[in-house]
Every structure is written in structure tokens, then in C-alpha cells.
Amino acid sequence: MARPRVFVTQPIAESALARLRAVADVEVNPDSSRVLDKANLIEGVKRCDILLSLLHDTVDDDVLAANPNLKAVSSMNITQDRIDLAAATRRGIPVTNIPAIVTDATADIAFGLLLAVARNIPYGDKLFRAGTYPGSQSNHLAGAAVTGKTLGLVGFGRIGQAVGRRSRGFDMKIVYTDLNRLPPDQEQKLGASYRSFDEVLREADFVSLHPQLSPATRHLMSTRQFALMKPTAFVINTSRGPVIDEAALVQALKDRKIAGAGLDVYEHEPQVSKELVAMPNVVLTPHLGSAVLELREGMAHVVVDNTIALIEGRKVVSCLNPQVLPEAQRP
């Protein structure tokens, strides 16, 4: 019997690939510096039985239709971002995913962005490398204080709470908003106080966004919301790009409605507004939320666990549309 063929859209941990090569013929796109374009993704799908995709890969109906014999999509997604799950289900293609294991890494990036934009760290680095040294007590790069300020968390699930825990080391006051308010004992344990969404925006010195992306949260932050924030406040986004109306953010920054932004995700990712790129009070990172070597290796092994389970007919770790799997393989 021919070995199954797996196409991997970007290099993943070699330890995980070695396990996969033991049971399948594996083709890996070797370029880790850019997202595979649609034409080449389709060509890869045509040559495989199982597609191993990453979060940034757009697996739409065109991609799924490129190979009528495609058996599965083994994804490094936690949710179905960029995957047409309805089309996959309609075609009987299981889409496996990974559990929510990126909490601490994403919280680290969120707080790193907060510190970086408040204290002008990237801008100072850029100027110093270019030969500018304003002096150790110059106001040229003076930024905003973090210690003792108010952190507003929009979405208070796993990651929002983890960011809140980090902020306690800076003696920050924590206010949060969420669809589901926590019981008083949990609020007390986390040192957090509940507010309405608008109250968080008015009160916070740093607004950190952690909602799940849905039709209700798309453009959650737009013109009205930025106008509610303090002109000295900053917005941080490590959730999903479309949570922010990027054009409205650019205008709010131009009009000095807010002081700055720290962004790891973008509305039209991987594209980002050229105006944001040019602003020294905006810190931009290319979706580094889970970019920790040990974590990425662990994520790769979960994806390979799922892929090998699909090949061997065993129970998968997790699946976004388990109804298309035989009963014995459902998680």
C-alpha cells in the first residue's frame, strides 16, 4: 500500500517532522519567511492526501476543491481562523486543531508590547542605532509610566487573566469587561474589578484586547470607541486583527485621540497600513503570540499526533468538525 502524502506549508520542528516521516511521505515548503501564496498552496494540496497547515494559511473552498482526494486538514489553529470549515465539512474533510496551549506566550507578548510602546523602546533602539543619543535625562524619548496605572482588559478569559496577573507585578489597577462577569471571589483573587465596555475605555491607561473574533467583535474598536479613550491611553491587540477597525485606529492616532498602539495582529494580515508603519508611537510585531521555540515544538507535536492518528485510524486529539470522522476517531 502506498504511503500517505502530507504537505506541510512551512517548516515545523524537526523532531515532529521525523515522527511524521516514519509513517508518511512528507513534503515541506522550505521558506519560513513568508506565507505561502494561494497558487502554491493549491499546487501543494494537489500533491497530498493530508494538508498540514498553520494559522496564517487561508484554506478556503478553492484550496479544498483543488484535490478531490484530499483526506484531511491537520491544522495548527486553535479556532477555525482562515479555514472554511463549512466547506470542509460539506466535502467530508476533517479539520483537526490544537488545544488552547498558547496562553502564557500570548500574554507575554501583550505585556511586552505594552512596555515597548509606553516607554518608546523600539523607537529609542532605532534612533540609537542611527547615531542619535539625546542624553540620559533628555525628554526627547520620554514615555508613559506603567507602574501604578490602570490596565483595562477587554475579554477576561485565559489570556486576559494571564495579562492581568503580569500587571500585578507593576502594581497596576485592573478593570475588565466580558460577556460573563466572574463571581466576586474570583474577581478578588485576580485583583480585578468589573466595568462596562465603555467604562473600561474611559478609565484605562492601557486597553488590552482579548475577545474571540466573531461577527459581534469585528471592529469592536472603531471611531466611537477610540473617542472614549483618554488621549494619554494606549491600545494593545494580541487577539485577532479585525477586532480593530484599522482605518479608525490610524485616524485616532493622527487626531491624537489616543497616545499609541502595540499590535501583534492586523485587520488584513499580513498587510498592514503604511501609515501605521510610519508612526513612531506604534509598535508592530508580525503575529508573534506563540513564537516561543519550546511552545512551537509542542504545538508541532500535537499537529503530528493528529496527523498520525488520521493515518492510522485512531482517535485524534481534537477536531473542529468531528461529525465527519468515524466514531472511533472522534476525540
Q: What is the DSSP string of 83-151?
A: B-HHHHHHTT--EE---S--HHHHHHHHHHHHHHHHTTHHHHHHHHHTT----TT-STT-----TT-EE
CB 79 within 8 A of CB 58: no
Work out the mean pLDDT of the chain and round it to a whole number. Answer: 97
Count Cα neighbours of 106 within 13 Å in the Cβ-side half-sphere: 21
Q: Show Cβ contacts of residue 11 under 8 Å, excluding neighbours closer than 6 positions.
A: 17, 28, 29, 30, 32
5-100+292-329: CATH topology is Rossmann fold (3.40.50)
Q: What pLDDT does residue 296 have?
A: 96
Residues with a known catalytic role? 240, 269, 287
Q: Which CATH superfamily is domain 103-284 in?
A: NAD(P)-binding Rossmann-like Domain (3.40.50.720)
CB 46 within 8 A of CB 22: no
pLDDT under 70 in the chain at which residues? 1
Q: What pLDDT does residue 79 have?
A: 85
Q: What angle do CA 303, 306, 309 make, to 5 degrees?
A: 150
C-alpha cell at 97: 486543531
Per-residue pLDDT tens digits for 300-309: 999 999 999 9
- Compute the distance between CA of residue 50 and CA of residue 73 in angstroms, rounded to an integer: 6
Q: What pLDDT does residue 1 have?
A: 63
Whether the domain at 5-100+292-329 and the domain at 103-284 fall into the same CATH topology: yes
Domain ranges, ordered by start, for the chain: 5-100+292-329, 103-284
Identity of the amino acid at 21: R
